[in-house]
Amino acid sequence: MKIYTKTGDSGTTGLIGGARLPKHDLRIECYGTVDELNSYLGLVRDQEISSDSKADLISIQEQLFAMGAILATDPELEQSSKGKRFQTPALNPEATVFLETCIDSMNTALPPLTHFILPGGHTTVSYCHIARSICRRAERNTTKLHSEQPVPTEVLIYLNRLSDYLFVLARKLSNELQAEEIKWIPNKTT
């Protein structure tokens, strides 16, 4: 398989199903941001973190690939050339429940959250916060796309829950790495 196809040289890209869109189209921005998020999760996974966290991140990355395929599929695509409904990968129905279970489990070992916290404290924690903010951007873009073209609600819910997961993971990593969580206190004088 050749990596370069030259079909995008004119500023368009193809969706699954054959439709072509400008590379700046909101749909392309959505799955491109999901891809960016997936790459950052790979960076978090490459850090010195627990094997359980690494396994969870691999599972999440697999779901993000399915989400990317969903978003990269032509919404007008009803049937393939053989007359059968075109099948894109689906988000695992239990994917959001998995995130919620992980969040609840991580939260039990963390001190209560009484203030907003400033991102940072350790490079690994910062990478996790960057991934969280990219996830929020993916969610904003996808909800905007949803207002124009229906997007499966599972995608919207998963992105929302994933950003919560990444926030709690950042706190867990801060705890494990003994990094200081700096509270944000409004109007604090320095």
Beta strand ranges found along 61-125 (DSSP E): 116-117
Q: Is 129 domain-assigned?
A: yes
44 domain residue, yes or no: yes
The predicted-structure confidence for 131-171, as pLDDT tens digits, reads as follows 999 999 999 999 999 999 999 999 999 999 999 999 999 99
Alpha-carbon separation of residue 8 from 14, 25, 32, 79 (angstroms): 8, 13, 15, 25
Coil vs helix vs strand at 148: helix
138: containing domain: 20-73+87-183
The tally of domains found in the chain comes to: 1
Pick 6 or 164 by higher pLDDT: 164
Q: Is residue 3 part of a domain?
A: no
Task: Kindly state whether residue 135 falls inside one of the protein's structural domains.
Answer: yes
Indicate whether 78 belongs to any domain. no
Q: Is residue 79 a part of any domain in this protein?
A: no
Written as six digits, the tokens of 85 are 């409904």
Q: Does 1 fall in a domain?
A: no
Q: Provide the pLDDT for residue 9.
A: 72
**Which segments of 8-140 are extended strands (E)?**
12-14, 20-22, 116-117
- Choose the weakest-confidence range: 2-6, 88-92, 160-164, 175-179: 2-6
pLDDT in tens, 106-116: 999 998 888 89
Looking at residue 81, its pLDDT comes to 44
Any idea what the CATH number is for the domain that residue 170 is in? 1.20.1200.10
- pLDDT class of 190 with cuts at 50, 70, 90: low
The reply to whether the predicted model has a pTM over 0.85 is yes
Asked, for residue 6, whether it belongs to a domain, the answer is: no
